[in-house]
């Protein structure tokens, strides 16, 4: 196991080195949820229900100000955008006035390295609205929980595969991407698009089918040939590259959106969440709880845990290892596909390399929680998700993913087996 961890670290370091040499800082954070926000006030009083249009990469979006005169939208890329205030929605006889601007209700903005930009429309004399650091912390903490739960869906499947087969599957990120791409084709493909309540579950089913297909045509034949874990890891890297560029071939290099990706925000004190955010948290919790019950109460779940602990002993006890491993691949594919759909709403947007952008975070969560333990992957994912979001208060968004990896290194220095791992797993 020590050799396996050494190989994983070496490959990861090489991938990071190549990425650092070839990618710009903007590219490193392309998976982040970028945002444009602002205020609309009249003589210091907020205006509610004022409509604004944000035009740029990803298409045109519309948003209305809330009771505090605030508005916010998520955008898919760092780029130039045009924000237009609809003066027809202002109170009668009121207009946006700026002597230095011929079109005061239209502003061009650029989402830069920080990933955030503010556009304020003040009519008359307005006071600047300042959000306290505590309110920002609470907002980012909740966002971190949301991101961590989504990450946990993918990391749990990755951990199960490693525990039962010993494979460090670097193609798991592409299984995440597949779920989002399948959902896009099913619910956004022109006049034949399916309703969300049919299309999104069907995308999860197709993702489960992908897990089954990969086991049938690739992983099971390699297991029967007793191929070593290092060679299997290298095969997974090749599979990852092949799938990634296949996605690029079919969907291109741009960003596409799922329906209702820019739902309006609702305020809960200092916390602002959209209906999509609330649904994402609820779905993640329900699925994780259901999975935990399956893992601890069902015969197949108990067999999965037995194989993770000792495959040889489990086989000698009469457990059909091949059957259990196949079920694990199906579950891992379904969880990865669901994570991909939720991540497409979280970013928001679907891109050909979106899964690769969170792959290292998935490995960090699995390693932090304890290799081969599903509950450890859940705890590790929540920690990584919160650190990623909260650290953005003090460090540039371009570096917030690196902060989670630094925490991983520090914890492993004091507890090499991870939070819930056992020493027998690494030595």
Q: What is the pLDDT of residues 370-395, one digit of tens each?
A: 877 888 899 999 999 999 888 888 88
Q: What is the pLDDT of residues 159-193, one digit of tens each?
A: 999 989 989 999 999 999 999 999 999 998 665 68
Q: SS3 of 417, please?
A: coil
Task: Report which listed range, 3-12, 156-165, 260-269, is most confident.
Answer: 156-165
Query: Which among 204, 226, 223 has a CA at the least distance from the CA of 323?
Result: 223
One-character DSSP codes across 173-234: HHHHHHHHHHHHHHHHSGGGPPPHHHHHHHHHHHHHHHHHHHIIIIIHHHHHTT--HHHHHH
> Is residue 248 predicted with pLDDT exceeding 80?
yes
Residues in contact with 86: Cβ distance below 8 Å, sequence separation at least 6, in sequence order: 50, 51, 52, 53, 105
CA distances, 348 to each of 27, 58, 177 (Å): 16, 9, 13
First to last CA, the chain: 6
Q: pLDDT exceeding 70 applies to what percent of the chain?
A: 85
The pTM assigned to this predicted structure is 0.71
Q: What is the pLDDT of residues 323-366, one digit of tens each?
A: 999 999 999 999 999 999 999 999 878 999 999 989 989 999 99
């Amino acid at each position: 196991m020590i050799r396996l961890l050494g190989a994983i670290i070496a490959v990861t370091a090489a991938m990071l080195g190549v990425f650092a040499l070839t990618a710009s800082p903007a590219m490193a954070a392309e998976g982040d949820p970028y945002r444009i926000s602002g205020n609309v006030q009249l003589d210091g009083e907020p205006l509610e229900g004022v409509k604004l249009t944000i035009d740029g990469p990803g298409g045109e979006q519309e948003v209305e100000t809330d009771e505090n005169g605030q508005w916010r939208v998520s955008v898919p890329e760092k780029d130039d955008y045009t924000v237009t205030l609809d003066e027809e929605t202002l109170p009668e006889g009121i207009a946006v006035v700026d002597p230095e601007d011929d079109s005061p209700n239209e502003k061009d903005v650029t989402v830069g390295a920080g990933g955030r930009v503010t556009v304020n429309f003040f009519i008359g004399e307005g006071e600047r609205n300042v959000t306290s650091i505590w309110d920002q912390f609470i907002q980012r903490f909740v966002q971190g929980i949301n991101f961590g739960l989504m990450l946990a869906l993918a990391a749990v499947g990755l951990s199960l595969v490693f525990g039962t087969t010993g494979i460090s599957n670097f193609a798991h990120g592409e299984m995440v991407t597949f779920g989002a791409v399948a959902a896009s084709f099913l619910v956004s493909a022109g006049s034949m698009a399916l309703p969300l309540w049919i299309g999104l579950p069907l995308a999860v089913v197709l993702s489960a089918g992908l897990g089954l297909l990969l086991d049938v045509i690739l992983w099971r034949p390699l297991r029967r040939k007793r191929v070593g874990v290092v060679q299997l890891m290298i095969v997974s890297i090749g599979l990852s590259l092949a799938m990634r560029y296949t996605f690029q071939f079919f969907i291109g290099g741009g960003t596409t959106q799922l329906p209702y990706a820019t739902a309006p925000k609702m305020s809960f004190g200092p916390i602002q969440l959209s209906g999509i955010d609330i649904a994402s948290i609820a779905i993640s919790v329900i699925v994780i709880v259901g999975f935990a019950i399956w893992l601890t109460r069902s015969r197949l779940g108990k067999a999965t845990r037995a194989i993770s602990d000792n495959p040889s002993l489990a086989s000698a006890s009469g457990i059909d290892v091949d059957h259990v491993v196949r079920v694990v691949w199906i579950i891992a594919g379904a969880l990865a596909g669901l994570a991909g759909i939720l991540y497409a709403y979280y970013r928001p947007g679907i891109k050909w390399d979106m899964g690769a952008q969170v792959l290292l975070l998935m490995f960090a969560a699995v390693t932090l929680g304890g290799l081969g333990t599903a509950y450890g992957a859940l705890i590790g994912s929540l920690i990584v998700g919160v650190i990623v979001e909260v650290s953005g208060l003090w460090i540039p968004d371009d570096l917030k993913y690196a902060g989670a990896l630094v925490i991983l290194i520090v914890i492993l220095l004091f507890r090499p087996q991870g939070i819930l791992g056992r020493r027998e797993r690494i030595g």
